[in-house]
Amino acid sequence: MSLIVQKFGGSSVADKDRVLNVARRVVQTYKEGNSVVVVVSAQGDTTDDLLEKAAEITSNPSKRELDMLLASGEQISISLLAMAIKTLGVNAISLLGWQAGFSTDEIHGAARIRKVKADRIKQELEKDNIVIVAGFQGINKYDDLTTLGRGGSDTSAVAIAAALRADRCQIFTDVEGVYTADPRKVKNAIKLKEITYDEMLELATLGAQVLNNRSVEMAKKYSVELEVLSSLVEAPGTIVREETTVEKMLIRGVTKDTDVARISIIGLPDTPGIAFKVFSKLAQKNINVDIILQSVGRDGTKDITFTVSRENSAQAEQAIKSLSSCKDSQVVIDENVAKVSLVGAGMETHPATASRMFEALYSADVNIQMISTSEIKISVLIEKEAADKAVKAIHNAFFD
């Protein structure tokens, strides 16, 4: 008998038919002889509807009160799912975040889980209940409700799996697993059987929106074995764990990220510490910088180019212009770019990988603007319009 944590997102419980479908999936796992804890998000558009109710009252709602409001969404979905499971003749009980033992810090709207005191969950499992837990929420030390921010239900599920030392944490989504490229765009994309946490993190960061990043980080920290699988199609998904047994395929996938902007600062004084000044200013403003390129100094000036996420580009420009060292420089922003990345373990030790990737791009007539490499990925910045073509070309080079 195994202990399985299953997480279903909002679209999986959007209406009564889907709630009943999830109930059947959960009961099936239970009837196979497992103990089951289920984490669910709010139904379909509930969160957006609640946000609209708040927006009708004020454009700047109190974050504490917004958490109070939003946490009602999962309260509805967990009680409905518990009712649905009971109609199938199996015991079930729903628990709110605080009842399930979720303590968080005080940051309303983006709280971090401090601890999961899973005594109540254990008690209910011992009473042979399927336990339904409200994802996305907890309480802080003042006993006030907090929410973990969007996508937080994945993190809730992993945290419970860690606290209970569950055998597996299954994340049900609208895709069947993790693919070597977006299967809607690249028709010969392959579903991976296994992948490591680090590879999964790179894929998530690079735009493959399968799992919330924080949940993967937490799964890595507590060695929780994850499985990403479809809530609609019954088929094995992709397992995420530390050591994968399938080693023959080094390359895990090709992703693109179009939510990126390139910022160039042209004509900076070629003096020591100038890069430090620019990037510490950006760090102060909580702006993450990705690929960085610095030109060689010439005529006493140099250029620095880097990428940020698109929503931060205006703020980044403002921050740079506020620096006295940059007062004579020109700031150019280009949002017509995309980052395309190849992800896989052991890439560093296979120098041929990069050249094969660049060759594929060259053959497809894609111009590379910037390059960045790490142990498990190679990213290039290219013109946005060429992104899909580039993904296909790289994918074909490695998976055909």
Chain residues binding a second copy by CB under 8 A are 16, 19-20, 50, 53-54, 56-58, 61-62, 64-66, 68-69, 71-72, 75-76, 78-80, 82-84, 86-87, 93-94, 96, 99, 120, 143-145
**Which is closer to a second copy, CB of 144 or CB of 317?**
144
Least separation in angstroms between CB 7 and a second copy? 19
Least separation in angstroms between CB 351 and a second copy? 57
Structure tokens at 8: 């279903």
Least separation in angstroms between CB 53 and a second copy? 6
**Which is closer to a second copy, CB of 25 or CB of 392?**
25
Least separation in angstroms between CB 118 and a second copy? 14
**Which is closer to a second copy, CB of 5 or CB of 96?**
96
**Which is closer to a second copy, CB of 73 or CB of 253?**
73
Please choose, from the candidates 7, 27, 25, 18, the residue with its C-alpha nearest in 3D space to the C-alpha of residue 88.
27
Q: State the sign of the Cα–Cα–Cα–Cα dihedral 130, 225, 206, 208.
A: negative
Least separation in angstroms between CB 323 and a second copy? 37
Task: Report whether 147 contacts 70 (CB < 8 A).
Answer: yes
Q: At what angle are helices 152-164 and 213-221 packed, to 10 degrees?
A: 10
**Which is closer to a second copy, CB of 75 or CB of 372?**
75
Task: Report whether 71 contacts 134 (CB < 8 A).
Answer: yes
Least separation in angstroms between CB 81 and a second copy? 9
Please choose, from the candidates 339, 368, 352, 356, the residue with its C-alpha nearest in 3D space to the C-alpha of residue 396.
356
**Which is closer to a second copy, CB of 126 or CB of 299?**
126
